[in-house]
Amino acid sequence: MTQMTPPASGAPAGSAGSARIAAAVRQAVADGILGEEQPVVGFVDTDGVRESVAALRDAFPVMPGTLHCFAAKAASLIPVLRLLADCGMGCEVASPGELRLALDAGFAPADIVLDSPAKTREEIGLALTLGVAVNADSFDELRRIDGLRTPGSASVLGIRVNPQVGSGSIGEMSTATATSKFGVALRDEGAREAVVRAFAARPWLTRLHAHVGSQGCSLELIARGVAETYELAEEINGSLRRQQVTSIDIGGGLPVNFTDDTVRPSYAAYVAALREAVPGLFDGRYALVTEFGRSLLAKNGFIGALVEYTKDAGGRRIALTHAGAHTATRTVFMPDAWPLRVGAFDAQGRPGTGPLMVQDIAGPCCFAGDVLAHGRELPELREGDFVVLYDTGAYYFSTPWAYNSLPRPAVYGFSHGTDGERVRFAPVRDAQSLDSIAAESGLAHADALTGPGATAI
């Protein structure tokens, strides 16, 4: 199912990313941010985020109307979104909750794009009132927009197409397969003509959108999907004899290397692949929208977790940590598709140096499969040590799962400052309190099934 090579074991050696993380772990343990009181914490490297945004901007040519959006689902934390807004990014959202976060983070409505395959009338109405861009996922949704749109709405409106160029290495992450639930399936009989007719009937429809997949898709596959979308834009404008399609939203999906510190493929490599596959994309006739998530944040975040106990079972050493399926859901349930590098650190937060030993790194959840890494060779972990899960800045601690009523872990941003001497931390999200867990578990309705009112049911 996946061609991903297994990650190198042990704490990765030497490179800039690892050195920064090692300094942050050391300081977080010294400051008491990571330890017995907070046994699992997510961290965001704010300098790294700024550098990644700069790399994205540098790779793409400067063209009028270009809008680089961050896909909110990759790191749905208001301070992180505000950092990205501060870097000049827009925001791609896919639910009422994400739209709310984007607005609270300070994105201007004109810099927000609403995608999702199941928008309600209310969501569409709000987006149109605010002037948020909307990409319709289907002709039915386009008909809803027809009914809700008022003339003069500031929203840029588009339609998502599925170029059906095929699957990457992780089927669950591939959105351009023949039977994907996303967009208008372009190669289905009559679909292309129907898209052209939809534009002909709606002069306000000006954008085409495609997002080929997230992780596991090669640059060539993504570029082919963009090429198909571009060809369709040319076909629409050609047959209508006017430039009605004025922008192309090419989605996100640049894969992330989870096996070591190097950033590959780079945004520059992606742009080179696009230039090769779709030369006309950069000639200035179309404004470009991008929606990257994982590639901007994954390598700029990590999870630190305390080793609560160790034990031996059936000849295997197991480290029981506080990072489990609630913070690394995909890795626990699909370990072959989503392997993570794990680093071993001592009780002072220094990289482990002891002899290597084969160990399982397990989490606190009460089901047997809650193991983050199986049979990994790492310096021997002991009670009070720490593990680091690398490359978890996107879709991990920001996307927790409430299993076992485990709290959402605290998240901190960190920076090395201009002097590069001392790592400084800023709280991004507090750890969830027990009161909050009780409230989210129906405390306000505690008597609903047993009290006097319960006779009603």
> What does the binding site for ligand PLP look like in residue numbers (CB under 6 A)?
71, 73-74, 92, 94, 115, 211, 214-215, 251-254, 291-295
Angle, vertex CA 215, rays to CA 211 and CA 221, nearest 5: 55
* Six token digits for residue 226: 């963009």
CA gap 127, 349 in Å, rounded: 46
Among all chains, which residue has been given the structure tokens 């899960």?
389
> Which of 69, 87, 217, 366 is labelled catalytic?
366
Q: Are the CB atoms for 308 and 320 separated by under 8 Å?
A: yes
Residue 451, CA distances (Å) to 438, 441, 454 in order = 18, 17, 5
Q: Are the CB atoms for 173 and 215 separated by under 8 Å?
A: yes
CA gap 127, 113 in Å, rounded: 9
Nearer to ligand PLP, 217 or 381 (CB): 217
CA gap 104, 21 in Å, rounded: 29
Q: Are the CB atoms for 317 and 357 separated by under 8 Å?
A: yes
Q: Does residue 87 have an active-site annotation?
A: no
* Six token digits for residue 97: 């909750």
Nearer to ligand PLP, 68 or 211 (CB): 211
Among all chains, which residue has been given the structure tokens 């996303």?
182
CA gap 307, 385 in Å, rounded: 5
CB atoms closer than 10 angstroms to residue 173: 20
CB atoms closer than 10 angstroms to residue 444: 9
Give the residue numbers annotated as catalytic, written as ranges: 366
